[in-house]
Amino acid sequence: MKQTFNKPRLLIIGCGDVGLRLLPLVRERFRVFAVTSSPDRCGELRAAGAVPIVADLDHRASLARLKGLAHHIVHLAPPPGRGALDQRSRNLTAILPDGARLVYVSTSGVYGDCQGQQIDETQPVAPKNARAVRRVDAERVLRQWARGSGSRLAIVRAPGIYARERLPLERLRLGTPALLAEDDVFTNHIHADDLARIVALALMRALPGRVYNAVDDSEMRMAEYFDAVADAFDLSRPPRLPRAELAQQVSPQLMTFMSESRRIGNGRIKRELGVRLRYPQIAPALTALANTN
Protein backbone atom coordinates (compact mmCIF):
# COMPACT_ATOMS: atom_id res chain seq x y z
CA MET A 1 0.00 0.00 0.00
CA LYS A 2 2.84 2.38 0.85
CA GLN A 3 4.35 1.79 -2.58
CA THR A 4 1.02 2.72 -4.21
CA PHE A 5 0.82 6.03 -2.39
CA ASN A 6 4.43 6.88 -3.30
CA LYS A 7 3.59 6.84 -7.00
CA PRO A 8 3.08 10.15 -8.82
CA ARG A 9 -0.56 11.02 -9.34
CA LEU A 10 -2.32 11.06 -12.68
CA LEU A 11 -5.71 12.68 -13.17
CA ILE A 12 -7.85 11.48 -16.10
CA ILE A 13 -10.63 13.87 -17.04
CA GLY A 14 -13.43 12.20 -19.00
CA CYS A 15 -12.53 8.56 -18.41
CA GLY A 16 -14.77 6.89 -20.97
CA ASP A 17 -13.85 4.21 -23.51
CA VAL A 18 -10.39 5.56 -24.37
CA GLY A 19 -9.72 6.34 -20.72
CA LEU A 20 -10.49 2.76 -19.72
CA ARG A 21 -8.09 1.53 -22.41
CA LEU A 22 -5.47 3.95 -21.11
CA LEU A 23 -5.70 2.76 -17.50
CA PRO A 24 -3.82 -0.55 -17.93
CA LEU A 25 -1.00 1.36 -19.62
CA VAL A 26 -0.46 3.85 -16.79
CA ARG A 27 -1.67 2.35 -13.51
CA GLU A 28 1.65 0.65 -12.73
CA ARG A 29 3.51 3.95 -13.00
CA PHE A 30 0.90 6.29 -11.52
CA ARG A 31 -1.72 6.39 -8.85
CA VAL A 32 -4.63 7.20 -11.13
CA PHE A 33 -7.65 9.35 -10.28
CA ALA A 34 -10.50 9.24 -12.80
CA VAL A 35 -13.17 11.93 -12.96
CA THR A 36 -16.72 11.00 -13.86
CA SER A 37 -19.94 12.97 -13.71
CA SER A 38 -21.91 9.76 -13.10
CA PRO A 39 -21.80 8.16 -9.64
CA ASP A 40 -22.97 4.92 -11.26
CA ARG A 41 -19.57 4.55 -12.94
CA CYS A 42 -17.50 4.60 -9.76
CA GLY A 43 -17.50 0.82 -9.39
CA GLU A 44 -16.36 0.33 -12.99
CA LEU A 45 -13.52 2.83 -12.60
CA ARG A 46 -12.43 1.36 -9.28
CA ALA A 47 -12.36 -2.14 -10.77
CA ALA A 48 -10.21 -0.83 -13.62
CA GLY A 49 -7.60 0.41 -11.15
CA ALA A 50 -8.49 4.08 -10.69
CA VAL A 51 -9.68 6.12 -7.75
CA PRO A 52 -13.03 7.52 -8.93
CA ILE A 53 -13.96 11.13 -8.27
CA VAL A 54 -17.43 12.45 -9.02
CA ALA A 55 -17.23 15.94 -10.51
CA ASP A 56 -18.78 17.82 -13.41
CA LEU A 57 -16.78 20.07 -15.72
CA ASP A 58 -19.92 22.09 -16.36
CA HIS A 59 -20.11 23.00 -12.66
CA ARG A 60 -16.92 24.67 -11.54
CA ALA A 61 -17.68 24.36 -7.83
CA SER A 62 -17.71 20.57 -8.12
CA LEU A 63 -14.07 20.64 -9.24
CA ALA A 64 -12.77 22.16 -6.02
CA ARG A 65 -11.63 18.83 -4.62
CA LEU A 66 -9.41 18.35 -7.69
CA LYS A 67 -7.37 21.50 -7.05
CA GLY A 68 -3.68 20.60 -7.06
CA LEU A 69 -4.47 16.87 -6.87
CA ALA A 70 -2.09 15.74 -9.63
CA HIS A 71 0.72 17.14 -11.75
CA HIS A 72 0.04 14.73 -14.62
CA ILE A 73 -3.31 15.15 -16.37
CA VAL A 74 -4.98 13.55 -19.37
CA HIS A 75 -7.92 15.61 -20.64
CA LEU A 76 -10.30 13.42 -22.66
CA ALA A 77 -13.54 15.32 -22.08
CA PRO A 78 -15.22 16.91 -25.12
CA PRO A 79 -16.40 20.52 -25.12
CA PRO A 80 -20.11 21.27 -24.52
CA GLY A 81 -22.54 20.44 -27.29
CA ARG A 82 -23.33 24.03 -28.20
CA GLY A 83 -21.79 27.47 -28.45
CA ALA A 84 -18.39 28.58 -29.74
CA LEU A 85 -16.45 28.28 -26.48
CA ASP A 86 -15.26 25.39 -24.35
CA GLN A 87 -16.14 26.48 -20.84
CA ARG A 88 -15.22 23.02 -19.57
CA SER A 89 -11.54 23.53 -20.33
CA ARG A 90 -11.70 26.96 -18.73
CA ASN A 91 -13.18 25.45 -15.56
CA LEU A 92 -10.51 22.75 -15.56
CA THR A 93 -7.52 25.06 -15.91
CA ALA A 94 -8.75 27.05 -12.91
CA ILE A 95 -7.91 24.12 -10.59
CA LEU A 96 -4.76 22.76 -12.23
CA PRO A 97 -1.40 23.28 -10.51
CA ASP A 98 1.51 25.24 -11.93
CA GLY A 99 4.23 23.19 -13.57
CA ALA A 100 1.84 20.39 -14.56
CA ARG A 101 2.06 18.07 -17.55
CA LEU A 102 -1.15 17.75 -19.56
CA VAL A 103 -2.16 15.76 -22.64
CA TYR A 104 -5.31 16.97 -24.36
CA VAL A 105 -7.09 14.79 -26.90
CA SER A 106 -8.57 17.08 -29.53
CA THR A 107 -9.86 16.29 -33.02
CA SER A 108 -8.44 16.36 -36.52
CA GLY A 109 -11.63 18.22 -37.44
CA VAL A 110 -9.86 21.45 -36.47
CA TYR A 111 -8.11 21.34 -39.87
CA GLY A 112 -11.39 21.71 -41.73
CA ASP A 113 -11.67 20.80 -45.40
CA CYS A 114 -8.25 20.34 -47.01
CA GLN A 115 -9.71 19.15 -50.33
CA GLY A 116 -8.02 15.78 -50.06
CA GLN A 117 -4.52 17.17 -49.66
CA GLN A 118 -1.83 15.44 -47.59
CA ILE A 119 -1.23 17.46 -44.41
CA ASP A 120 0.73 17.26 -41.18
CA GLU A 121 0.76 19.13 -37.86
CA THR A 122 2.00 22.33 -39.54
CA GLN A 123 -1.35 22.72 -41.33
CA PRO A 124 -3.18 25.81 -39.98
CA VAL A 125 -6.49 25.15 -38.25
CA ALA A 126 -9.58 26.14 -40.24
CA PRO A 127 -12.63 24.67 -38.48
CA LYS A 128 -15.76 24.44 -40.59
CA ASN A 129 -18.35 23.26 -38.07
CA ALA A 130 -19.35 24.19 -34.53
CA ARG A 131 -17.79 21.10 -32.93
CA ALA A 132 -14.40 21.88 -34.43
CA VAL A 133 -14.69 25.58 -33.51
CA ARG A 134 -15.14 24.58 -29.87
CA ARG A 135 -12.12 22.29 -30.08
CA VAL A 136 -9.96 25.10 -31.44
CA ASP A 137 -11.13 27.25 -28.55
CA ALA A 138 -10.19 24.48 -26.08
CA GLU A 139 -6.72 24.19 -27.59
CA ARG A 140 -6.27 27.96 -27.33
CA VAL A 141 -7.39 28.02 -23.69
CA LEU A 142 -5.03 25.18 -22.75
CA ARG A 143 -2.08 26.78 -24.54
CA GLN A 144 -2.68 30.02 -22.67
CA TRP A 145 -2.85 28.13 -19.36
CA ALA A 146 0.37 26.24 -20.11
CA ARG A 147 2.27 29.42 -20.92
CA GLY A 148 0.99 31.22 -17.85
CA SER A 149 1.59 28.37 -15.41
CA GLY A 150 4.92 27.06 -16.65
CA SER A 151 3.27 23.76 -17.60
CA ARG A 152 3.87 21.30 -20.44
CA LEU A 153 1.00 20.75 -22.85
CA ALA A 154 0.71 18.20 -25.65
CA ILE A 155 -2.27 18.22 -28.00
CA VAL A 156 -3.21 14.91 -29.62
CA ARG A 157 -5.55 15.37 -32.58
CA ALA A 158 -7.57 12.24 -33.22
CA PRO A 159 -9.73 11.46 -36.29
CA GLY A 160 -12.51 8.85 -36.42
CA ILE A 161 -11.94 6.46 -33.51
CA TYR A 162 -13.02 2.89 -34.08
CA ALA A 163 -13.20 -0.31 -32.01
CA ARG A 164 -15.52 -3.31 -31.81
CA GLU A 165 -18.19 -1.19 -30.12
CA ARG A 166 -17.54 1.87 -32.30
CA LEU A 167 -18.37 0.72 -35.81
CA PRO A 168 -21.16 1.92 -38.16
CA LEU A 169 -22.90 -1.47 -38.10
CA GLU A 170 -26.37 -0.05 -37.48
CA ARG A 171 -25.88 2.45 -40.27
CA LEU A 172 -25.04 -0.41 -42.62
CA ARG A 173 -27.98 -2.51 -41.48
CA LEU A 174 -30.28 0.43 -42.18
CA GLY A 175 -28.83 0.80 -45.67
CA THR A 176 -27.85 4.45 -45.21
CA PRO A 177 -26.29 5.59 -48.50
CA ALA A 178 -22.73 6.77 -49.00
CA LEU A 179 -21.25 9.12 -51.57
CA LEU A 180 -20.36 8.22 -55.11
CA ALA A 181 -16.62 7.78 -55.62
CA GLU A 182 -16.30 11.05 -57.57
CA ASP A 183 -17.97 12.97 -54.71
CA ASP A 184 -16.37 11.10 -51.83
CA VAL A 185 -13.94 12.48 -49.25
CA PHE A 186 -10.76 11.11 -47.73
CA THR A 187 -11.23 10.16 -44.10
CA ASN A 188 -8.79 9.26 -41.34
CA HIS A 189 -9.00 6.70 -38.55
CA ILE A 190 -7.35 5.36 -35.41
CA HIS A 191 -8.14 2.27 -33.37
CA ALA A 192 -9.11 3.14 -29.79
CA ASP A 193 -6.32 0.91 -28.41
CA ASP A 194 -3.71 2.70 -30.53
CA LEU A 195 -5.06 6.08 -29.42
CA ALA A 196 -4.69 5.04 -25.78
CA ARG A 197 -1.07 4.03 -26.46
CA ILE A 198 -0.35 7.33 -28.18
CA VAL A 199 -1.76 9.24 -25.20
CA ALA A 200 0.35 7.19 -22.77
CA LEU A 201 3.51 7.88 -24.78
CA ALA A 202 2.66 11.57 -25.13
CA LEU A 203 2.30 11.80 -21.37
CA MET A 204 5.94 10.82 -20.97
CA ARG A 205 7.68 11.83 -24.21
CA ALA A 206 5.83 14.75 -25.81
CA LEU A 207 7.71 17.96 -26.43
CA PRO A 208 6.27 21.06 -24.72
CA GLY A 209 3.50 22.71 -26.69
CA ARG A 210 3.62 20.04 -29.39
CA VAL A 211 0.73 18.87 -31.57
CA TYR A 212 0.53 15.21 -32.60
CA ASN A 213 -1.75 13.68 -35.22
CA ALA A 214 -3.00 10.35 -33.85
CA VAL A 215 -3.83 8.62 -37.15
CA ASP A 216 -3.04 5.22 -38.62
CA ASP A 217 -1.31 4.43 -41.91
CA SER A 218 -4.45 3.84 -43.96
CA GLU A 219 -5.60 6.12 -46.76
CA MET A 220 -9.27 5.57 -47.53
CA ARG A 221 -12.28 7.41 -48.79
CA MET A 222 -15.30 7.34 -46.52
CA ALA A 223 -17.40 4.96 -48.58
CA GLU A 224 -14.42 2.61 -48.84
CA TYR A 225 -14.36 2.49 -45.06
CA PHE A 226 -18.05 1.62 -44.94
CA ASP A 227 -17.44 -1.08 -47.56
CA ALA A 228 -14.58 -2.51 -45.52
CA VAL A 229 -16.75 -2.69 -42.39
CA ALA A 230 -19.58 -4.29 -44.36
CA ASP A 231 -17.25 -6.90 -45.86
CA ALA A 232 -15.70 -7.78 -42.50
CA PHE A 233 -19.09 -8.28 -40.84
CA ASP A 234 -20.85 -9.92 -43.77
CA LEU A 235 -23.25 -7.02 -44.36
CA SER A 236 -24.41 -5.39 -47.57
CA ARG A 237 -22.29 -2.54 -48.82
CA PRO A 238 -24.12 0.81 -48.70
CA PRO A 239 -25.66 2.20 -51.88
CA ARG A 240 -23.88 5.19 -53.44
CA LEU A 241 -25.55 8.50 -54.25
CA PRO A 242 -24.43 11.87 -55.64
CA ARG A 243 -23.80 14.50 -52.98
CA ALA A 244 -26.97 16.50 -53.73
CA GLU A 245 -29.21 13.44 -53.38
CA LEU A 246 -27.45 12.17 -50.26
CA ALA A 247 -27.92 15.54 -48.55
CA GLN A 248 -31.69 15.01 -48.77
CA GLN A 249 -31.51 11.64 -46.99
CA VAL A 250 -29.06 12.09 -44.12
CA SER A 251 -28.81 14.55 -41.25
CA PRO A 252 -26.95 17.86 -41.62
CA GLN A 253 -24.54 16.65 -38.93
CA LEU A 254 -23.65 13.57 -40.95
CA MET A 255 -23.19 15.69 -44.05
CA THR A 256 -20.58 17.78 -42.26
CA PHE A 257 -18.41 14.65 -41.99
CA MET A 258 -18.93 14.08 -45.70
CA SER A 259 -17.88 17.62 -46.62
CA GLU A 260 -14.30 17.61 -45.31
CA SER A 261 -11.52 15.73 -47.09
CA ARG A 262 -7.96 15.40 -45.82
CA ARG A 263 -5.13 12.87 -45.70
CA ILE A 264 -3.27 13.26 -42.44
CA GLY A 265 0.34 12.19 -41.95
CA ASN A 266 1.49 10.44 -38.77
CA GLY A 267 5.27 10.76 -39.03
CA ARG A 268 5.61 12.88 -35.90
CA ILE A 269 4.08 10.32 -33.51
CA LYS A 270 6.52 7.73 -34.85
CA ARG A 271 9.62 9.95 -34.78
CA GLU A 272 9.08 11.78 -31.51
CA LEU A 273 6.91 9.44 -29.45
CA GLY A 274 8.21 6.13 -30.76
CA VAL A 275 4.70 4.93 -31.62
CA ARG A 276 4.40 1.49 -33.20
CA LEU A 277 0.82 1.06 -34.28
CA ARG A 278 -0.88 -2.20 -33.40
CA TYR A 279 -3.49 -1.56 -36.10
CA PRO A 280 -1.73 0.38 -38.90
CA GLN A 281 -4.29 -0.63 -41.56
CA ILE A 282 -8.06 -0.72 -41.21
CA ALA A 283 -8.99 -3.81 -43.23
CA PRO A 284 -6.94 -6.33 -41.19
CA ALA A 285 -8.08 -4.64 -37.99
CA LEU A 286 -11.73 -5.00 -38.99
CA THR A 287 -11.23 -8.68 -39.78
CA ALA A 288 -9.73 -9.18 -36.33
CA LEU A 289 -12.61 -7.30 -34.71
CA ALA A 290 -15.20 -9.34 -36.60
CA ASN A 291 -13.61 -12.54 -35.27
CA THR A 292 -13.69 -11.28 -31.69
CA ASN A 293 -16.52 -12.68 -29.59
pLDDT value at 2 more than 60: no
Of 106, 282, 283, nearest to 188 by C-alpha is 282
Instruction: Give backbone dihedrals phi and psi of 237, rounded to 5 degrees, phi first.
Output: -65, 150
Percent of the chain with pLDDT over 70: 98
Residues 212/154, Cβ–Cβ less than 8 Å: yes
| Cα angle: 134, vertex 226, 247; to 5 degrees | 60
pLDDT at 293: 61
pLDDT value at 189 more than 70: yes
- Partners of residue 10 on adjacent β-strands: 32, 72
- Distances in Å between the Cα of 24 and the Cα atoms of 12, 75, 82, 266 are 13, 17, 33, 24
3: confidence class by pLDDT, cuts 50, 70, 90: low
Please state the rounded mean pLDDT for residues 61-81. Answer: 95
Taking residue 17's Cβ as centre, other Cβ atoms within 10 Å add up to 15
The residue type at 169? L
The DSSP code sequence of 217-266 is S--EEHHHHHHHHHHHTT-PPPPEE-HHHHHTTS-HHHHHHTT---EE--
CA 262 to chain centre: 17
> Please, which contacts does 21-27 make with residues 24 or more away whose CB atoms are closer than 8 Å?
21/192, 21/193, 21/195, 21/196, 22/74, 22/196, 22/199, 22/200, 23/48, 23/49, 23/50, 24/48, 24/49, 25/196, 25/197, 25/200, 26/200, 26/203
252: confidence class by pLDDT, cuts 50, 70, 90: confident
Averaged pLDDT score across all residues of the chain: 95
**155 sits in which H/E element:** strand 152-158
Separation CA 90–CA 112 (nearest Å): 24
Residues 192/163, Cβ–Cβ less than 8 Å: yes
Please state the rounded mean pLDDT for residues 200-218. Answer: 97
pLDDT value at 102 more than 50: yes
pLDDT at 234: 96
Separation CA 215–CA 186 (nearest Å): 13
Separation CA 96–CA 122 (nearest Å): 28
pLDDT value at 90 more than 70: yes
pLDDT in tens, 147-170: 999 999 999 999 999 999 999 999
Q: How many residues does the chain have?
A: 293
Pairing verdict, β 220-221 and 186-187: antiparallel
- Distances in Å between the Cα of 166 and the Cα atoms of 115, 140, 201, 229, 286 are 26, 29, 23, 11, 11
**pTM, whole model, 2 decimals?**
0.95
- Distances in Å between the Cα of 6 and the Cα atoms of 3, 23, 28, 200 are 5, 18, 12, 20
Pairing verdict, β 31-36 and 51-54: parallel
CA 152 to chain centre: 19
pLDDT at 1: 42
